[in-house]
Amino acid sequence: MEKYITDERTGLRYELVGDYYLITGDDEPEEEQKPIGIWGQRHLRYLKEHHRVRYANLLTSGKMNAYLADIDRQAEELFLRLVKQMADADGITEKLKACDQMKWVGRMNSIRDRVTEIVNNELILM
């Protein structure tokens, strides 16, 4: 199936998205494709499963990629900031890493798991 088709009768241009052709704007430039990380992909999956109307609106308006890139950027910044803050608060230092690597890894994994849960609840599953 072709990626783009044009209806000669109406002059509308359609783009193949999955199994369906959706109307594309002729006067709107193609959306700049920004890389979407793990957080953006998780939010996309959440939208598909739980907020189908919002998902369809973002997709048909051509704003999906920019929206997901922004969510991904915000989530990554929050994740890194919270991991650093929690590690500092728990006294996890480079000295601990040098002395007892397994303890350091275990404590950092615990922090990463907690922070992942926070980011999911605050940004991804909203």
Instruction: Write out the chain's pLDDT in tens, 126 residues.
Output: 788 888 888 878 888 888 888 888 654 445 568 889 999 999 999 999 999 999 999 998 889 999 999 999 999 999 999 999 999 999 999 999 999 999 999 999 999 999 999 999 999 998
- Give the per-residue pLDDT at 30: 54
Token pair belonging to 10: 């109406």
User: Is residue 96 within 8 Å of 105, Cβ to Cβ?
Assistant: no
User: Is residue 115 within 8 Å of 82, Cβ to Cβ?
Assistant: yes
Q: pTM value?
A: 0.72
User: Is residue 17 within 8 Å of 10, Cβ to Cβ?
Assistant: no
* Size of the chain in residues: 126
Rounded Cα–Cα distance for residues 37 and 123 (Å): 14
Residue ranges of domains in the chain: 4-26+34-124
